[in-house]
Structure 1
Amino acid sequence: MKGSVAYRSIQKRGLHIGLLPALAAAVNGATPITLDHDLDVLPEVGRHLTVSRLAELVDDLAARLWAAGVRTDEHIVLHKRPNADVWVLACAASRIGAVPVMLSPSLDAATVGALLERVNRPNLLTDEHKLDVLSGLPLAELTRRVITVSGERPQTISLGKLAGSPRIKPVVRPIDEAAVITHTSGTTGLPKLVVHTPRTQGIRLKPQWRLLSLMRKRENVAIHIPFVHSRNVAAMALALLKEMPVLLMNESDPDTVAELFLQNRPGLIEALPNSLMAWEGLSDDPRKPFASVKYFSSTFDAIHPGTMSKLLKSSERRGAMFFQIYGQSEVGPAVGRAYFRNSAHKANGRCVGWQMPLGSAKVRVVSRDGNRPTEQNPGRIEVSWPGLAKTYFAEQERYDDNRDGDWWGTGDVGYFTRFGCLHMLDREIDMIPGVRSSLEIEDRVLSRLPELSELVIVPGAGSAAVPVICTHDDRPLDPGRWRSAAADFPQLADPVHIPQAELPRTGTLKVQRLALVERLKDQLGDRA
């Protein structure tokens, strides 16, 4: 089977992740998958697989889940330490018609407990480490059963003990029913559970299927995305159907990442914006770990132009390109744009892209005050297409409140330029009076101060705009250099310098701005 045939089948029947490994094996079972870590559930399989071997593992684990008592239509919450086996186990759960609910390993026990209660006694698939973290929760009351990937604990079922269970015929879920549930980033309170269907998951492949079609040969693809995220579902489906060897990464330490790239020589890297920021120092590494990369790709948040420029200049490939996509869990990819080596440094970081080809998402900007949205008067950004998530699990009213017919409110504000580029200025909830765009200021000051590793502008007392800064290795920042770099922004208060490790982040490394304000409320009040 050709990858294009498999893709057309998905567009017709939807993306079922339980069937994906077998479908990809029919396209090319020899496509290699390299891991930078051992699978917790099956450490003996090693770090070098093929797609055919992956399909076998998913079939085996599906049988074990069935033997453990999981049944079609049941929810199974996956919450364990970061590991690619989360995605593999989600495929296995889907293969028997269960609905995987993917919870980030970064969530605290109270949040996990609240989400388990919302799902109404699901199965819980976890590991011994997380069982210790969740020890204060009444799991017997919150769950139908608790299953561990290995080891033995009282009142749990171990998948390790169920090897050799009879194989189960795969189940195909209805195209418009829940297939996978992920959650929002949790930057503003308890995460919402986002319901994806086979149809919505398949539709979201369209824009990047076209992008990958630009690649003239099969090249190694390095993927560094949280394994529980909806974007990982799309990234793995695209790579495997395109027969591209995959380096599936868990490690984020720059030195380790450099070694991985030198060993595997990826032609494409897809990673979180904050991961790429953490790795940009490798652009000066004399070993040139990014030399082989022709395509960098990032979603989630807009990325700083300086980071893109450094990465592109560290590639030795002709026509190297950075492709940025703006979207969110509820809408998938909304707009995108490409950046090139000689122009990325001049880019406006607030320009998140243009609407993509026919069949992709439609985007509009709606007035907040009755006047036409402009740069000085940004409006609300809304998205419409069949790829919108179906609902928020157990919060239909909350979901409906965010829709206007076919249009979904992203919560962001911005405007379209006369050339049709969408500029995203801020989250509406994060807007500060007197500040046109906190994100724009952050972009510009970061470009002027390479010693900064992060800059976040938050409201202080009296809605003053207070910069919270972090530096590489937590070194002190020269006050004179700060004053010079921030001279264009007199509305800023004096900066608050905190250690990088104290920045509250989500599982996708976004800064939790409201949590940061709460954590620093005494300091922010003093500075304002």
Structure 2
Amino acid sequence: MRPHDMGTLFDEAAASGAPTVVHLDRPFDIAPHDGTRWTLPELADLVRATAARLADAGVRPGDRVAVVKDNHWDYDLLGCAVARLGAVPALLSARLDTADLLTLLDRLQPAALVTTSALLARCRDGAAPAAAPVLVTLDSAAPGALHLAALDPARPCLPVRRSADEPLAIHHTSGTTGLPKLVTHSTRTLVDELARFEAVRYPGIGIRPDDVLLNASAYAHGRTFCWTAVVLSVPPAEMVLLSGDDPDTADPLLRTHPPTVVEATPATYVRLRPLTTRLDNPFRRVRLYISTYDAVHPPALRAYLTASRHRRPLWMQGWGQTETGPLTFRFHTRRSALAADAESTARRLGRPVPGRTRLRAVDPDTLRPVPRGRPGLLLVRTAALAQGYVGEDERWAAKHVGDWWSTGDMGVLHRDGSVSVLDREVDSVPGMSCLRTEDALEQRLPQALECVVLGLPDGDPLPVVVTADGRLDPDAWKQATYGLPRLRDPAVLTWDEVPRTGTGKVRRAALARRLTGTAPAGTGRWT
């Protein structure tokens, strides 16, 4: 089966007869009383019933429907239910700051908002209410809102077909450098160009019928909408879905259903890393790890690859953006992760996808190409490029450089065709890479959960070291910084003290403002 219509995706997966079983760490928010074990026919019934309920609430073809809720895979079920009605789902993370969320809702002007009573109350306590003609709550009734469970699940609701170039879904960017952007993808860009390319049982890296597939992601993000199309087209034996990243909560489920393929956000890999050292570690059967969204530092790669008892486990690291989908891939092995130069080569993110993606590095001031091996602003050409930013047409147009589109990342195109990403342009510091410095610090500070280096307009960069207890030995810091570029004295924080995006990325601009009162070092022109 090749994915082609998100509105009927679950119907077609159920009709395939695949015996896939889905295991959840908690019940769906759209089906709170229906347990944590699902089959594909049961999921198809749930999507149809949810679409009928939303139609009963008044959702019509062409409407924008905003979804804001707690993290869980039913974000994508809701997205497919909305798409089934011919409407356009806009999936927004509940981890957004209230002010940012209200701004995005104002740009969207949705016909309906699907949310929880608690989040609706949070929005109503903000500077302005979350405005939408129709409000639907998932958890309980709320004043002025319809309760999803009280709507008619049997309302006649035939799938509405749309052209490949009509808007299919709206997702927001991570927002590490400021207010997230709302990205519109069509069926052609998200399904035809991205999901279909991935929905193939490639040797070694494709999904197998006997796989146990674990996803621990940020389900409001565009990556999981595409992932859902892929995994239902090449269904595995089992799927395990984590909605949180607490290792003690995840451990029993993962030991009961030890995965063979794992996809997670880099932040979740960090949080679940303690499980790799347990005697009955749940990653013992993993043959393939997949990461996207953000940089993965060498200590995490090493921990997971050595935790697997598979003969040759692989780590597939993708670099891409919400606007473009994956641009490059690189594979790490147990041997490469343990190599002496792992720290210095970690930023090499592989080569562009052959025949699908082209990259160019240019001077960010003159926009002239720079020689191979020299840092520059990375531009891309891909047929998977999104349709634009909702409410920010000028910003979208400003990121085009002729037929090329600016990623906003500074990087190096090497002579062998591979690419290294150094920093976001808005975070860049002349003469150094903050990301590479972070790699070195994490390599040298085993007690660090995460290291972040913030480029500032004046003076040396500010390092932030995240530890379990918010403490760091001064002697350990002194040894860790030997031979590195000049840095300020570190700020030491706990995990929960760091502002994060819905995908767990550090919100660097917010963190810099909180600690120093200043903005990042770069121009921000290409953000």
Give the alignment's TM-score, normalised by structure 1: 0.92
Instruction: Give the match for residue 390 of structure 1.
Output: 387
| 1:254-301 per-position Cα deviation (integer Å, ceiling 9, x unaligned) | 122222221111110000011112222222111121101110000011
Query: Which piece of structure 1 moves more, 328-337 or 247-256?
Result: 247-256
The letter of the residue matching 2:484 is F
Where in structure 2 are the equivalents of 1:66-215 lying within 5 Å? 66-136=55-125, 142-202=131-191, 203-210=193-200, 212-214=202-204, 215=206
Residue identity in the other structure for 1:233:
F
Q: 2:370 aligns with which of 362, 369, 372?
A: 372
Match of 1:315 in 2: 308
| Separation in 1, partners of 2:14, 2:457 | 58
Shift of residue 210 of structure 1? 4.6
More displaced stretch, 161-170 vs 46-55: 161-170
- Moved segments of 4+, more than 4 Å: 137-141, 210-213, 522-525
C-alpha contact 1:77 1:102 (8 A) present in aligned 2 = yes
Match of 1:407 among 404, 429, 445: 404
Amino acid at match of 2:488: A
Q: Secondary structure at the match of 1:124?
A: strand
More helix by share: 1
Structure 2: distance between partners of 1:189 and 1:522: 14
> Contact 1:222–1:247 (CA<8 Å) still a contact in 2?
yes
Task: Give yes or no for contact 1:127–1:148 (8 Å, CA) kept in 2.
Answer: yes
Equivalent residues of 2:105, 2:131 under 8 A apart: yes
8 A Cα contact 2:512 2:518, kept in partner: no
Cα offset, 1:204, TM superposition? 0.9
Identify the residue that residue 264 of structure 2 maps to in structure 1: 271
Note closer, same or farther for the CA distance 1:374–1:22 as it changes in structure 2 (3 Å cut): same
Aligned to 1:3: none
2:210 counterpart SS class: coil
Distance 1:461 1:121, change over 3 A: closer
What's the CA shift for 1:470? Answer: 1.4
Taking only the aligned residue pairs, the percentage that are identical comes to: 35
Separation (CA, whole Å) in 1 of partners of 2:347 and 2:174: 21
Deviation of the 1:64 alpha carbon = 0.7
Question: Which residue of structure 2 aligns with residue 483 of structure 1?
Answer: 478
| 1:332-384 CA-partner distances (Å, limit 9, x unpaired) | 000001111111133311101112233x3222222335472455x41111121
Taking a change above 3 Å as real, the CA distance of residues 53 and 524 of structure 1, as seen in their structure-2 partners, is: closer
- Mark the runs of 5 or more structure 2 residues left unpaired by the alignment: 521-527
User: 2:425 & 2:97 partners in 1: Cα distance?
Assistant: 26
Asked if 1 retains the 8 angstrom alpha-carbon contact of 2:388 and 2:396, the reply is yes
Whole-angstrom CA distance in 1 between matches of 2:517 and 2:33: 51
Q: Which residue of 2 aligns with 1:240?
A: 232
2:13: which partner in 1? 24
State the Cα deviation string for residues 220-277 of structure 1 (Å, max 9, x = none).
Answer: 1001111111100121221121111211111211122222221111110000011112
Q: Alignment length, in residue pairs?
A: 510
**Which residue of 215, 218, 222 corresponds with 1:223?**
215
Secondary structure of the residue that 2:124 maps to in structure 1? coil
Q: CA RMSD in A?
A: 2.1
Matches of 2:200 and 2:58, distance apart in 1? 41
User: Which residues of structure 1 form unaligned runs of 5+?
Assistant: 1-5
TM-score, normalising length: structure 2: 0.92
CA distance in 1, matches of 2:6, 2:518: 47
Taking a change above 3 Å as real, the CA distance of residues 261 and 141 of structure 1, as seen in their structure-2 partners, is closer
Quote the Cα distance in structure 2 between the aligned partners of 1:123 and 1:138: 20
CA contact (8 A) 2:422 2:435 kept: yes
| 1:380-435 Cα shifts (integer Å, max 9, x gaps) | 1112111111111121221111112432211001112222211101111101234x
